[in-house]
Structure 1
């Protein structure tokens, strides 16, 4: 992810920040340009003058009805308000003041959240939203199609659901169906999620990983089926017409084949072509976000060994490059360095996966799908 700065004082700020730690300016995320902006409240100028004269402007917390309209430094003359979820879950994304939709570009995709009046549900929802905003950061950077349910009956939507109080009833299953992504609120409990990770023998299980994986199921239709790429996709991932229910049952009975590491990014990817695509999609988003973050921080890898192995210098935008070679070429040495640093602290590998040649070909296919769609979207935007 990019680094941002407070336009009021130049301090480095981050995606989750709501105020600048140096000057105290309120911060908000402008999703249409992908940048954090310092904000000024749009208030009565006579009130501001009075506060300045008394020296109280920095010491007084202006009431909500005064501060509800904001002027971003990066959008001179334009008025914004915060997403309607700012108080509930701390959403720091902005909405144009005249927009009839009260929620931001990410929160407007929510369909149902189990009783946020319960503390545990609200805490879990907050954690899920933090991860979801990171997902939407990437999806918006890639200019992917994301109609809401109001725009399309099978548009992208989210349910965040708690398990029923009766332990005899089935628990909520995280998954995707016809554009609706369901995430079990229990996944926001770190202890519960770690128990599930161990019981399923997974090397990695995070909220962001769930969002990225399930979004891969959603984008199968617009990027593969609707773009005439189904046969090419089948050649790499397999025939998705194989019965999903039987494949799921077989996977949980027999597990992954012994040679899965040479052909799949994870054991779960072996279950069905749809899961292989979704798993590979999630890792594609992992690569882009990590590479952009490394580049923003000036992280470079230059191994000091006798073999003169290649290093990593991320001096390009991984979200926009048409060529996949610099993405994978920089990712491999970077991930090796990150894993080595984690081991030096006695921690598990940060990226506990091996990308075989077959997996890299699948990642390249997804990259080409995304970049072709992105180019088409930008061309349509220029013609509009």
Structure 2
């Protein structure tokens, strides 16, 4: 994630800012320009100091303080919020506060997707397979619970995941080292992009061959594989081949977990670069612990640099967390086979030849 500057006073701004705390200008995010901009009233709309030549308005969800993105076309919702199909009843406490947390995570997801130039057709654009979100506070009729998941472009998320206590309880019950709302979105969007970039790609046969060589045959019975995983757990040697224990459940889950880790890496490295973070450990001459993070991780020719920077960065931040008595920032190990799978995701994202 970038750092931004207020065009009115040069104050540093962060992605979720609604106001510049120094000059008081309202600020909004322009997804097309990738800019957080100070705005000034202009009749019924706003003028962005970053792009003063076109009228803008805030997304309708800004009225609920759930969005700070600007809209330039004739729609009511921004490039992230227009994908919402179902949102919770905001008159019911504490739905509004939890939904705001969900939207904050979802907007971070869309920031990265748009920066990478990935296709995000809405349900209106593609009624059969377009991307849509159902954020549910209660089960639908006939269901006993809200199940977070993906089905042909529709991503469902339980609003309970925005409750820190409930989410931590679920994390412990499921033996997970990491569970966040943003992590859920990055995982589930991985399932969506498997459909878009592998199954439905023009060169799907070649991409499926490459996918199956790395991840396994996705034609394995999915429900039976999940039941086996929850009954038996992951293989003892899972860290030698997978990014997480859950990735062992089925090739689709392996891909979604790998996709999520790829987005973790890209976004975190951009944040590190924005803060000018470099690593030169004083107690070691090991060059593998040195990281020069002076590059844009969204560019297509950066994969080797991504991995070379990510490993020392996570070692450093894990050590900082331990100094504060906190769990590891990145409680995972990337084996060579896992890195090869990440390279495949990178190739899919950028249309490289290694995709198949």
TM-score between the two structures when normalised by the length of structure 2: 0.95
Give the aligned CA root-mean-square deviation in angstroms.
1.5
Deviation of 1:146 (Å):
0.6
Residue in structure 1 matched with residue 256 of structure 2 by the alignment:
278
Question: How far does the alpha carbon of each residue in 1:14-42 deviate from its partner, in whole angstroms, 9 at most, with x for none?
Answer: 00001101100110100011110111111
Q: How many residues align?
A: 346
State the partner residue of 2:114: 140
In the alignment, does 2:337 pair up with 1:362? Answer: no
Equivalent position of 1:52 in the other structure: none
Partner of 2:216: 238
Q: Give the 3-state SS of the residue equivalent to 1:145 in structure 2.
A: coil
Local SS of the residue matching 1:70: strand
Q: After TM superposition, which residue ranges in structure 1, 4 or more long, deviate above 4 angstroms? A: none
Counterpart among 57, 66, 72 of residue 90 in structure 1: 66
State the distance in 1 between where 2:195 and 2:152 align.
10
Partner residue of 1:353 out of 306, 324, 332: 332
1:17 counterpart residue number: 17
Instruction: Flag the 1:15–1:306 CA change in 2: closer, same or farther, 3 A.
Output: closer
User: How much does 1:164 deviate?
Assistant: 4.2
Aligned-pair CA distance for 1:169: 5.5
SS of the residue 1:77 aligns to: strand
Unaligned runs of 5+ in 2: none
Q: Which residue of 1 aligns with 2:51?
A: 75
Of 318, 323, 339, the match for 2:302: 323
Q: Structure 2 vs 1, CA of residues 110 and 276 (structure 1 numbering), >3 Å: closer, same or farther?
A: same
Residue 3 of structure 2 contacts residue 14 of structure 2 at CA under 8 Å; is this kept in 1? yes
> Does the residue aligned with 2:327 lie in a helix, a strand or coil?
coil
Q: Any idea what SS the aligned residue of 1:27 has?
A: strand
Following the alignment from structure 1 to structure 2, what is the Cα–Cα distance between the partners of residues 114 and 125? 7
Alpha-carbon shift at residue 165 of structure 1 (Å) = 10
Q: Mark the runs of 5 or more structure 1 residues left unpaired by the alignment.
A: 44-67, 374-384
Alpha-carbon contact 2:66-2:99 (below 8 Å) kept: no
CA contact (8 A) 1:109 1:149 kept: yes
- Listed as ranges, the matches of 1:246-325 within 5 Å are 246-310=224-288, 311-325=290-304
Residues 102 and 239 (structure 1 numbering): CA distance in 2 closer, same or farther, change over 3 Å? same
**Which residue in 2 is equivalent to 1:218?**
192
Q: Does 1:155 align with 2:130?
A: yes
Mapped partners of 2:79, 2:42: distance in 1 = 22
